[in-house]
Amino acid sequence: MSDTLLNISGLKTWIDVEPAPVRAVDGIDLEIRRGETFAVVGESGCGKSMTALSILRLLPETAEIVAGNAQLGATELFELTERDMRDVRGRRIAMIFQEPTTSLNPVLTVGAQVEEVLRRHGRLSPQAMRKRIVELLDQVGIPDAERRAGEYPFQFSGGMKQRVMVAMALAGDPDLLIADEPTTALDVTIQAQVLDLLRKLQRERGMSILLITHDLGIVASMAHRVAVMYAGRIVEVADRQQFFASPQHPYSRKLFEALPGAEGRGGALAVIRGQVPPLTAAFHGCRFADRCDFAYERCGQGEPALMPVAPDTSGHRVRCVHVTEKGRFPARSRPVAVTTGTLGTGAPADAAPLLIVRDLKVHFPIRKGLLKRTVAYVKAVDGISLDIAAGRTLALVGESGCGKTTAGKAILQLIRPTAGSVNFQGAELTALRGEALRGYRSDIQIIFQDPYASLNPRMRVGDILSEGLLALGVAGHAMNQPGVRDLARDAIQKRVDELLDQVGLPKDAQRRYPHEFSGGQRQRIAIARALAVKPRLIVCDEPTSALDVSVQAQILNLLKSLQSELGLSYLFITHNLAVVEFLAHEVAVMYLGRIIERGTVDEVLRSPAHPYTQALLAAVPRIDKDVNREMGSGGTTAEAAKQGELPSPVNTPAGCHFHPRCASAKDECRREYPGSSTLTRSHVVNCWKYPIGK
């Protein structure tokens, strides 16, 4: 019996648009073996997801497979009728989509959705069907599976919805599971649970996994072999150990150099200059040549083939003339960054606070009945305190639902706090209303997580950037004009040009609409909009979570350089701890509406005191220097990271909120919430393991 499960050769999938078709997948070959995890990595738009959809023949109407073969065992998938292909989908090949919220039917119970798969690919009696549904939900770790099978998707958390997607995929007992960015929208602890689940199920069932991701940490902990895609082509294929020990293609190396971390603090991350080339025309040379630091004349004379890396004999192949023709690759790539030199480390740690928040609470009432009486409260933010000095960055980290974004909006007074104090430069913002509060809007701005949703699609970029100037009159004040009505048009234009230059966009970008830009460019526009009114503090709400690693590096470099040049302060809301290591000065860890640990980056990330902080750090997939370690051993060892999810903020647990998930919880942890323990002058933790008040 052959060791190969799926063999793809010469696959080309084009999208029919005017004036020329988009060559989304432009001739790729790959082989997936039985029982292995094969990872495909690359930037958005490189063809990863389109490859998966081509295998399943689930392409949009405008897309077409124009060439190639795909053999699943002895079956040629592209020669099957649509009727026969339906027997393959779900039974032999199943897929987990990136966003479970949009993939699950909101009007059907989760049990009914699993049942759909079972009915299509099996013949079970009603009693056996119900038993099998409960078995599948229990197998993927959904507690009280029999009861929850009758619930709807909106009643499940993000991690639990993804588990339901896994149960549906496993219902047909497939040979191949395609996982398309299965953890992108999940927090690190929930991500750890899902990845552990996939590893466990793979061992038990012997199935193969095609893992599509741009997270190299996940690849390091999951994959047996790796393929790197760029502009519709595979540019490198290698075993996991070979790939992480010695990536050969210039693009692969740039992906590693763009990863944030502690080693990059005080400097700039390497970025890949330029953009992915348009896929509407045929290429006559290396597709990466225009962005490569080592391109020379030969790179434009014919596209290189995917050739073995000498003297390797285990399948390491690369599409680069430096390796395949010269037999070597330069030792290091030249750093190419948005800024040059060091970017500094911000203001001194003992600088005077710009923002002082004390005991901030945001409770949302739950009303029921005909008279809409308040029966309970959602305690989204339940008494947090923090300080941010001028020119410093405080990272606020924690799982989704812990209250991070609500806290940021409450500080901005976009949501009125239930209680507490927000003092900005001596002014108590919670006491201000109307014009008095409006006067501080230009000092505190926000960058939202999704730039596409936060930018008006009907406005040109120039109008988006000038809107804040006109609304608040900041430009008029800066130009010593008597009022916004007297502000000269050329003064606004000058400011818009300055903003575009600050964020690295061309001046002609102001005449285009948001949909005409890439994700990274749209985030730059959102940053420029926040800078327009010359703020002193910016709340950054997950500004890089949806971006590829190369684009993320550009945005992080930009934020750091702007802080160095303008003395900006940031409240950086994120769950990406690598970004925290690179950008932040201090860290506050939030759990169920409260800050449970805070301190400098080195104190919290190097010597975490709270069990929850330890769980967060243990759950992060890391690229270990020991590439020969056992897969799955690099960052999911804390039991707290794998057990349970964030409790409801409506019914918070008595005592320490984390005790239901804490392996070292004691009786006092269940009785009373712990006070603050001061470990150093800047390191404070709320945990009964330490002397309270000392």
How far, in Å, CA of 441 to CA of 456, rounded? 20
- Over its C-alpha atoms, the chain yields an Rg (Å, rounded) of 27
Write the Ramachandran bin of 75: left for phi over 0, alpha for psi from -120 to 50, otherwise beta.
beta
- Report the percent of the chain where pLDDT is more than 70: 89
Same domain, 430 and 566: yes
**556 shares a domain with 435:** yes
- The DSSP secondary-structure symbol of 274 reads S
Residues 348 and 439 in one domain: yes
**Domain limit, last residue, from 533, 566, 598:** 533
* Type of residue at 136: L
Quick one: pLDDT band at residue 71, thresholds 50, 70, 90? very high
Q: Would 91 be classed as within a structural domain?
A: no
Question: Is 102 within 8 Å of 129 (Cβ atoms)?
Answer: no
What 3 state SS string does 298-338 have? HHHCCCCCCEECCCCCCCCEECCHHHHCCCCCCCCCCCCCC
Residue 31 Ramachandran class (φ > 0 left, ψ -120 to 50 alpha, else beta):
beta
Q: Do 416 and 552 reside in the same domain of the chain?
A: yes
Could you tell me which of 400, 379, 416 has the C-alpha nearest to residue 594? 379
Q: In the sheet that 373-389 helps form, which strands lie side by side, from edge to edge?
A: 373-389, 353-368, 419-424, 427-428
pLDDT for 477 equals 45
Same domain, 617 and 664: yes
Within a domain: 619? yes
270 within domain boundaries: no
In a domain, 48, yes or no: no
Last residue of a domain, one of 130, 148, 173: 173
> Residue 570 is inside which H or E element, if any?
strand 569-574
Q: Which of 160, 125, 132, 570 is nearest to 347 (CA)?
A: 570
- Check whether 38 has a pLDDT greater than 90: yes
Task: Identify whether 426 is part of a domain.
Answer: yes
641 backbone dihedrals φ, ψ, rounded to 5°: -75, -20
Nearest to 615 by CA among 194, 198, 221, 187: 187
| pLDDT tens column, 204-242 | 889 999 999 888 989 999 999 999 999 999 999 999 999
- In terms of C-beta density within 10 A (0-12 exposed, 13-18 middle, 19 or more buried), how is residue 160 classed? buried
Of 212, 276, 231, 224, whose CA–CA distance to 53 is shortest? 212
* Structure-token pair, residue 364: 């949302």
CA distance 25 to 315: 22
Please, which pLDDT band fits residue 686 given cuts at 50, 70 and 90?
Answer: very high
DSSP code of 276?
A: P
Among residues 694, 620, 639, 655, the alpha carbon closest in space to that of 218 is found at 620
Residue 673 neighbours by CB distance under 10 Å: 18
Structural contact between residues 260 and 578, judged by C-beta atoms closer than 8 angstroms: yes
pLDDT category at 150 given cuts 50, 70, 90 is very high
Residue 527: inside a domain? yes
Pick from 155, 173, 191: which residue ends a domain? 173
Ramachandran class of 670: left when φ > 0, alpha when ψ lies in -120 to 50, beta otherwise: alpha
424, 402: one domain:
yes
Read off the DSSP letter of residue 488: -
Number of domains observed in the structure of the chain:
4
CA contacts within 13 A on the Cβ side of 227: 22
Q: Is residue 339 part of a domain?
A: no
pLDDT at 20 over 90: no
pLDDT of res. 229: 95
Same domain, 407 and 554: yes
607 and 544 belong to one structural domain? yes
365 and 433 inside one domain: yes
Query: 27 burial class (0-12, 13-18, 19+ CB within 10 angstroms)?
Result: middle
Which of 310-319, 412-421, 571-580 has the lowest average pLDDT?
Answer: 310-319
Residues 607 and 476 in one domain: no
Residue 51: what pLDDT? Answer: 95
| H-helix segments, 423-538 | 434-438, 451-454, 461-472, 474-478, 489-502, 519-531
126 in any annotated domain: yes
Same domain? 373 vs 435? yes
Query: Model confidence over 371-411: pLDDT tens digits?
Result: 889 888 889 999 999 999 999 999 999 887 788 999 999 99
The answer on 643 and 624 residing in a single domain is yes
Distance (Å, whole) CA 14 – CA 29: 16
Q: Which of 95-109, 253-267, 604-618 shows the highest mean pLDDT?
A: 604-618
Q: Which structural domain, as residue segments, surrounds residue 439?
A: 344-443+535-611+679-688
